């Protein structure tokens, strides 16, 4: 569990790469500058941890590409103390970014193996989400709603209704929608019934899994 000067140097390069690709939010960049991404991955990938690429984690899932993490985090536009729900805890890397942005984080993972692993791992780096839950992201987390932000980190075949209804007025849902490739979609809640939709480029995520019966 070491974070060396070499890792920090590679991270600086990664941050410059993200800036060159168009990421602007200084708080998102500072958060990613701080987080030792290599510790969220299998040690066999350590040498590549600061490339702008997704890598396999357990249970056939992936840690998202840094650019994707930065892009989604920027779209959420969180303030200090914002309440945010993450669907797809995975390695916990995106969770750590949200925590560095000083949000109150609730996160749900659908694969038990990953849930267990990440629940033990995050506190070792002093990352403490309000809740890290094993469950089905299609349902959101009604008992903690409403949220300022909801971020989905798996490819969703459609926008699950509960996620829309669990947003505050003025809140934002950031969700990649599609099957083979996904369109990054931002839905802003304008009123009880109105949502404003913005679409960004194509991304590629592992699919959001249906609930097992
Ligand atoms: N944020 C993670 C991304 C992991 S990939 C990271 O950066 O590491 C997407 C994750 O979503 C996987 O861990 C997958 O198991 C999880 N997932 C897929 N379908 C889900 C669902 N219905 N509810 C909650 N999590 C889900």
CATH number at residue 122: 3.40.50.150
Q: Is residue 100 part of a domain?
A: yes
Q: Report pLDDT digits (tens) over 75-102.
A: 999 999 999 999 999 999 999 999 999 9
- The pLDDT of residue 213 is 43
Q: Is residue 80 part of a domain?
A: yes
Distance of CA 18 to the CA centre of its chain: 16
- Quote the number of domains for the chain: 1
- The answer to whether 105 and 153 have CB atoms below 8 angstroms apart is no
Q: Is residue 75 part of a domain?
A: yes
- Domain of 161 in residue numbering reads as 54-203
Distance of CA 165 to the CA centre of its chain: 20
Q: Is residue 5 part of a domain?
A: no
Q: Is residue 131 part of a domain?
A: yes
Across the chain, mean pLDDT equals 95
Q: Report pLDDT digits (tens) over 29-71.
A: 999 999 999 999 998 888 899 999 999 998 888 999 999 999 9
> How remote is the CA of residue 212 from the centroid of ligand 1, in Å?
14
The rounded distance, in Å, linking the Cα atoms of 7 and 1 is 12
Confidence tier at 133 by pLDDT (50, 70, 90): very high
Q: Is the pLDDT of residue 211 over 90?
A: no
- The pLDDT of residue 1 is 76
Any ligand 1 atom below 6 A from CB of 68: no
* Closest C-alpha to ligand 1, atom 17: 88
The rounded distance, in Å, linking the Cα atoms of 204 and 208 is 12
Any ligand 1 atom below 6 A from CB of 98: no
The rounded distance, in Å, linking the Cα atoms of 20 and 63 is 21
Phi, psi of 142, deg, nearest 5 = -55, -40
Q: Is residue 211 part of a domain?
A: no
The rounded distance, in Å, linking the Cα atoms of 172 and 100 is 19
The rounded distance, in Å, linking the Cα atoms of 180 and 75 is 22
- The answer to whether 118 and 92 have CB atoms below 8 angstroms apart is yes
Q: Is residue 210 part of a domain?
A: no
Reported pTM: 0.97
Q: Is residue 15 part of a domain?
A: no
């Amino acid at each position: 569990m070491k974070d060396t000067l070499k890792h920090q140097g590679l991270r600086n390069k990664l941050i410059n790469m993200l800036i060159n690709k168009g990421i602007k939010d200084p708080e998102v960049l500072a958060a990613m500058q701080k987080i030792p991404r290599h510790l969220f991955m299998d040690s066999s990938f350590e040498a590549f941890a600061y490339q702008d690429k997704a890598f396999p984690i357990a249970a056939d899932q992936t840690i998202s590409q840094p650019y994707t993490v930065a892009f989604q985090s920027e779209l959420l536009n969180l303030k200090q103390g914002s309440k945010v729900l993450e669907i797809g805890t995975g390695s916990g890397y995106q969770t750590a970014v949200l925590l560095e942005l000083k949000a109150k984080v609730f996160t749900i993972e659908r694969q038990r193996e990953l849930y267990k692993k990440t629940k033990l791992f995050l506190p070792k780096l002093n990352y403490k989400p309000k809740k890290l839950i094993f469950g089905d992201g299609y349902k959101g987390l009604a008992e903690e709603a409403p949220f300022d932000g909801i971020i989905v980190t798996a490819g969703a075949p459609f926008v699950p209704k509960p996620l829309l209804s669990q947003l505050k007025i003025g809140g934002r849902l950031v969700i990649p929608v599609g099957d083979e490739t996904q369109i990054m979609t931002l839905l802003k809640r304008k009123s009880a019934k109105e949502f404003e939709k913005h679409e960004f480029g194509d991304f590629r995520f592992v699919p959001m899994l249906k609930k097992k019966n």
